[in-house]
Amino acid sequence: MIQSDMSSKTTVLVVEDESSIASMLTMALQFLGFEVVTAARGSEALTLATSRSPDVVLLDVVLPDMDGFDVCRGLRSAGVNAPVLFVTARDAVEDKVRGLELADDYVTKPFDLNEVVARIRAVMRRGRELTPANGRRLRAGWVELNQDTREVWRHGEPVQLSSTEFALLRYLLENADQVISKAQMLDNVWSYDFRGESGIVETYIYYLRRKLGDTDQTLIHTVRGAGYLVRSAPPGHLTEG
């Protein structure tokens, strides 16, 4: 059962055209102390996001006027960097992969309110943790990460990462030259129970490798049966032993 802690005064933008679902989410989130703004159309969501600056966005994929994926792209193009969680009935694998490439999380309908709230808190927590008090930069191989500005460079060129991708990369770089298990990544990056779905780690490792140009795994090295290892100075092309 959802319990109110009234600890957060963050704003959640709920983009949902089904009024019953929008009302349920609104009431639950308001009970927990969130401020809630709703939109039933993608165009309305883009306008509200730029004017209200929400802290997190719950976004349906199927909307009357435009695709939720396009809305997410529009948010990023408009400079809205709030974490985005897709909440949708589209449960095909290709939709989940597409959604996770654009946003920070993907929840399918019918959903459990407790799970949605847990995921909202998790992406918010990741966002807060991404801005430390110091201005340290983390480096490994050809990749550099700025913790203050949340910028990432690949061979000196900027790379756009989602909040989750950034959090995972930062955790890997902070633990460079150490083998990190999937369980450790789930605990430290996602911070909530994925019900044994460690495949989410593999998915995001794949996204990072692709965006960072690490297709041959010389930066983020797979250690079979143990986890992953980031090489602070990749020694050429490594192969599995």
pLDDT in tens, the chain (241 residues): 554 444 447 899 999 999 999 999 999 999 988 999 999 999 999 999 999 989 999 999 999 999 999 999 899 888 888 889 999 998 888 888 788 778 888 888 888 888 888 888 887 776 655 444 445 788 888 999 988 778 899 988 999 888 788 889 999 998 988 899 988 888 888 765 555 556 888 888 998 999 999 988 889 999 988 999 998 765 443 333 3
The pLDDT value recorded for residue 113 is: 87
pLDDT given for residue 230 in this prediction: 92
Q: Quick one: pLDDT at residue 42?
A: 95
pLDDT (0 to 100) of residue 150: 80
Residue extents of the structural domains in the chain: 11-127, 137-230
Q: Which pLDDT score is estimated for 6?
A: 40
* The predicted structure's pLDDT at residue 44: 96
- The pLDDT of residue 191: 63
Contacts 24+ apart (CB under 8 A), 69-74: 69/98, 69/99, 69/102, 70/42, 71/15, 71/42, 71/45, 71/46, 72/102, 72/103, 73/102, 74/42, 74/46
Cα–Cα distance for residue pair 100/204, rounded to 1 Å? 8
Does the pTM surpass 0.75? The reply is no
| Per-residue pLDDT at 149 | 79
For residue 169, what are the contacts with CB-CB under 8 A and spacing of at least 6? Answer: 143, 145, 152, 161, 208, 212
Do 14 and 31 form a contact (C-beta atoms < 8 A)? no
